[in-house]
């Protein structure tokens, strides 16, 4: 446990030292704030005390930002050889993978925590469905965790950060939108499967305030799959 936390803290520190964290926080708050309050289908346009507009913009900004945070994590260690040093310390592959996963998740949690003033503001303007807000946040956290584990996996594949960024987007876009677009074209069983595989289906249902075990199961298995593939990738390098 201590090893995982040690790695998480080092990664977090490196996010903040490299300005990556600040850039991400500012860009995320800037984008989501702009579209929540000032432009397009913002809170005032919708004329409802709800954070729906924030959740739908955060859904896309996180999709693009998360791979930018995770792309470095294994690619850079692979390229510079520090991975060898890390894995010859008394830590297991799992601890390394989890440590890196948690560090990005903590950064996303910080970013989301900084949007809580939006919630407070909206709540002070009108009657707000508190349950829907909290489950919306839960949806964002689960979705982020899923994309983090995909991003970490693609980072472990390549030595090149750009390659791992693009690969993460490529894999991610299927879950983000393509499966759901396809599912409306296919009917029947295939349509159902595709719709189940789509992150947007589960995110929408959670952010409406309905937290179903099916949705939780979907996100948790996606997270687990990404992490287990990353671990397998690390083990493969040592053969």
Examine residue 91 and tell whether it contacts another protein (CB under 8 A): yes
Query: Minimum distance from CB of 13 to another protein (Å)?
Result: 7
**Contact predicate 149/227, CB 8 Å:** yes
- Where in 67-86 is the site for another protein (CB under 8 A)? 80-82, 84-86
Examine residue 87 and tell whether it contacts another protein (CB under 8 A): yes
Residue entry with tokens 């876009």: 173
Helix, strand and coil in the chain, % to nearest 5: 85, 0, 15
17 vs 127, beta carbon nearer another protein: 17
- Taking the C-alpha atoms of residue 169 and residue 114, their distance in angstroms, rounded to an integer, is 25
Tokens found for residue 104: 């990005």
Examine residue 6 and tell whether it contacts another protein (CB under 8 A): yes
- Where in 16-55 is the site for another protein (CB under 8 A)? 17-18
Examine residue 88 and tell whether it contacts another protein (CB under 8 A): yes
Examine residue 184 and tell whether it contacts another protein (CB under 8 A): no
**Contact predicate 184/191, CB 8 Å:** yes
Examine residue 1 and tell whether it contacts another protein (CB under 8 A): no
Among 26, 44, 92, 134, binds another protein (CB under 8 A): 92
Backbone region of residue 48 per phi and psi (left: phi > 0; alpha: psi in -120 to 50; beta: other values)? beta
With CB under 8 A as the contact rule, which of the stretches 4-12, 35-43, 118-126, 178-186 interacts with another protein? Answer: 4-12
- Taking the C-alpha atoms of residue 224 and residue 103, their distance in angstroms, rounded to an integer, is 16
Residues contacting 61, CB < 8 A, separation 6+: 27, 28, 31, 32
Query: Minimum distance from CB of 73 to another protein (Å)?
Result: 12
Contacts with another protein by CB under 8 A lie at: 2-3, 6-7, 10, 13-14, 17-18, 80-82, 84-92, 238-239
């Amino acid at each position: 446990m201590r090893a995982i936390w040690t790695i998480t803290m080092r990664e977090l520190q490196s996010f903040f030292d490299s300005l990556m964290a600040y850039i991400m926080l500012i860009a995320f708050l800037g984008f989501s704030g702009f579209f929540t309050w000032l432009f397009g289908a913002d809170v005032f346009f919708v004329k409802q005390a709800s954070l729906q507009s924030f959740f739908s913009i955060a859904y896309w900004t996180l999709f693009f930002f998360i791979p930018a945070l995770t792309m470095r994590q294994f690619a850079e260690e692979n390229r510079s050889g520090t991975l060898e040093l890390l894995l010859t310390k008394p830590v297991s592959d799992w601890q390394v993978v989890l440590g890196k996963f948690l560090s990005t998740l903590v950064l996303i949690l910080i970013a989301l925590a900084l949007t809580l003033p939006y919630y407070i503001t909206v709540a002070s303007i009108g009657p707000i469905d508190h349950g829907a807000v909290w489950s919306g946040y839960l949806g964002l956290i689960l979705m982020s965790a899923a994309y983090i584990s995909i991003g970490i996996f693609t980072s472990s594949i390549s030595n090149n950060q750009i390659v791992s960024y693009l690969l993460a987007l490529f894999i991610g876009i299927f879950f983000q939108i393509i499966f759901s677009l396809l599912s409306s074209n296919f009917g029947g069983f295939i349509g159902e499967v595709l719709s189940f595989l789509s992150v947007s289906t589960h995110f929408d249902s959670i952010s409406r305030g309905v937290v179903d075990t099916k949705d939780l199961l979907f996100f948790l298995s996606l997270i687990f799959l990404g992490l287990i593939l990353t671990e397998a990738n690390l083990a493969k390098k040592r053969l």
